[in-house]
Amino acid sequence: MDWLGLRGKGALVAGAGGIGAAAARALADAGADVVVADRDPRRLADLGLRTLEADLTDAGGARDCVTRADELLGRLDIFVHAVGVNDRRPVLDTPDDVWRRILSVNADSAFWTGRAAGELMVTRGYGRIVYLSSVSGLLAHPHHAPYAASKGAVDQLCRVMAREWAASGVTVNAVAPGYTETGLTRDHLERPGVRDGLTALVPAGRLGTPEDLTGPILFLCSDQAAFVTGHVLYADGGRTLV
C-alpha cells in the first residue's frame, strides 16, 4: 500500500466506534503512525493502538487532544473525524436537550478539532482532514432533524475549510456513508421491518459496513488525493440515487 504515501505519516482519528476503529486500523495497516481519541475508555481499550481519552465536545478539550496527539506523533499529518450520535424522533417530539447534545457531539466537535488540526497543518504547509458525514446531510430522512442538520453543517464546514486552506497544502474532504452496520445503528436496525425497509432503498442491495468506508478514507488521506479538496464522497451503495 506504499503507493498511497501514508507510511510514516502521523494520523489522529477522533472516534473509536465502528467506522473510526476501522479507519484507524486501516491507516495503521497502510503504515501510518496512529493515535485514536475517544471519551469512552472501553472503546479505546480493544484497539491495540495508541489512544487518548478526551471529551471533544469541549473547545479546550478538543484543542488539548489535538496538541497531545501532535506531540505523541511528532507531527500531525492526517486528521479523521469519525464522531457521531443520533436520536431518531419526529421534530415535534425532539426536546431542546437532544438537539443541543447531537449538535454538540457531531458539529461542535468537528469545528473545534478541525480548527486545531488545521492550525498546525496550515503552518507546516501540509495536511489531510477527512470528516465522516452522512447521506442524511443531503436527504430529508424523517426523524433525523438534529442529526441531518449536524451532518449538513459538517459538509459546509468541510467546504469552507477546504477553500481557506487549499493554498497551504491542506485538503479537507468528507465521506458520507449510507446506512452502515455500526453500534450507532444496531438497535434501530433490529426493530421489526427496519433492516428490510432500508435495504430496499439501496441499489446495491445491502447495507454498508465500516470496511466499505476505509478505502475512500485512505484515498482522501493519501498523497494520491492532493488535488481533491472540498469534496463530499458518497459511499452509500447508490442510496442517494434513489
φ/ψ (deg, to 5) at 150: -65, -40
194: helix, strand or coil = helix
Parallel, antiparallel, or unpaired for β 10-14 and 232-235? unpaired
What distance lies between CA 17 and its chain's CA centroid?
10
Angle, helices 145-165/109-124, rounded to nearest 10 degrees: 10
Classify residue 142 by its DSSP letter.
T
Identify the active-site residue in 126, 131, 147, 234: 147
126 assigned to active site = no
Residue in the structure block whose three cell numbers are 455500526: 182
Contact 67, 12 (CB under 8 A): no
Distance CA 134, CA 118 (A): 22
Contact 172, 164 (CB under 8 A): no
Beta bridge pairs of residue 208: 180
Give the DSSP H or E segment for 144.
Answer: none
Active site residues: 147
